[in-house]
Amino acid sequence: MQSADIAVLAGRIKENIARVVVGKEDMIELMLAAVIAGGHVLLEDVPGTGKTVTARSFARSIGGRFSRIQFTPDLLPADITGTRVYRQDQGEFEFHPGPVFANIVLADEINRATPRTQSALLECMEERQVTEGGVTRPLPEPFLVIATQNPIEIQGTFPLPEAQLDRFLVRLTPGYPDHEEAVRILGRFLREEPLSTLEPVCGCEMLKEARQALSCCEVEECVRGYIAELCEATRRDERTQLGASPRGMLALMRASQALALTQGRAFVVPDDVQRLAEPVLAHRIIARGYGSQAAAAKQIVRDAVNAVPVPTEKR
């Protein structure tokens, strides 16, 4: 699949999601980039900002097998990955796959589950497989987790550990709509539920082809140097306890390649890197002694983007 074909595909998906989700075009584009890059998405914001609706609209637009897991404190790892059930008529155990055996998994309110249950997703998200009873079972391809969480709620929640956050390629914040968007939302949901009539505009095979084209997207040496320098700047910052890791650096490059492809380009430009720096790196950074870790980490990334010289084209 060529970059122009991927741009057309991305446009169709965005147009379809826009039938339900008002505004949020930038967030949808970054979600698309994350999916094409083979990553997972974390949507984090206060209740009622459209996190679940956005995730479900995205899943319906792509097609494939979809499952939703409502995370609660009493959820067990086996409720996610599956379990073995004894078949008395056969005299042996039979594995019953859990909801994680799907192409798109919506992990709703992921921070409401205990750390033990949250960790059930670690192997799934990183290695695309489930190991149970000494048997390793591959997950369907493509495999994508879209998780939501409320950052302000404390009662009955368990913050995601750094290892779990690192599994997400991007962390995005939908935010509140402006006045014009709010009026459009009221009009759209006045008489019907548009999500119920949403149909897929592409299949899983098309998404797999788009992912295969990722390696054909060029990243010039000067842009690779720019990505490395940005990550190094977050580690040098005196406000940082833990800066962007090499895995975060690779994630930023792959996400930039995917974003370039959705724009119809087969090469990465610094603007792609700058646009993705905060969504890709901020949740991988731990700031020193700050009350609001998320806000401090975002500011560290913004300062790094402003401080590191942008590579220019050689004449």
The span from the CA of 3 to the CA of 257, in Å, is: 10
Residue 315 banded pLDDT, cuts 50, 70, 90: very low
291 pLDDT exceeds 70?
Answer: no
Over residues 250-280, the pLDDT tens digits come to 999 999 999 999 999 999 999 999 999 999 9
| Residue 118 buriedness (CB in 10 A; 0-12 / 13-18 / 19+) | buried
- Among residues of the chain, what percentage have pLDDT more than 70? 97
249 pLDDT exceeds 90?
Answer: yes
Residue 83 banded pLDDT, cuts 50, 70, 90: confident
Beta strands, E only, 7-53: 41-44
Overall average pLDDT of the 133-159 stretch: 83
Over residues 15-35, the pLDDT tens digits come to 988 888 888 888 999 999 998
Residue 93 banded pLDDT, cuts 50, 70, 90: confident
The answer to whether the pTM exceeds 0.85 is: yes
- pLDDT at residue number 231: 93
92 pLDDT exceeds 90?
Answer: no
- Among residues of the chain, what percentage have pLDDT more than 90? 29
150 pLDDT exceeds 60?
Answer: yes
CATH 1.20.1260.10 fits 1-213, yes or no: no
The per-residue DSSP string of 122-161 comes to HHHHHHSEEEETTEEEEPPSS-EEEEEE-SS--TT--PPP
Half-sphere exposure of 52 (CA within 13 A, CB side): 14
Overall average pLDDT of the 38-60 stretch: 87
Over residues 105-136, the pLDDT tens digits come to 999 899 888 888 888 888 888 889 998 878 88
154 pLDDT exceeds 80?
Answer: no
**Pairing relation of β-strands 92-97 and 82-87?**
antiparallel
Tokens of residue 41, six digits: 């998405």
Give the contacts of 187 (CB within 8 A, at least 6 positions apart): none
- pLDDT at residue number 313: 64
Q: Which CATH class is domain 217-308?
A: mainly alpha
Beta strands, E only, the chain: 41-44, 66-70, 82-87, 92-97, 104-108, 129-132, 135-138, 144-149, 170-172, 240-242, 286-287
SS3 category, 42: strand
Over residues 206-242, the pLDDT tens digits come to 888 888 888 889 999 999 999 999 999 999 988 888 8
13 close to 202: Cβ distance less than 8 angstroms: yes
Overall average pLDDT of the 184-202 stretch: 84
Structural domain boundaries in the chain: 1-213, 217-308
**Pairing relation of β-strands 104-108 and 129-132?**
unpaired
Overall average pLDDT of the 47-66 stretch: 85
Output the average pLDDT for the chain: 87
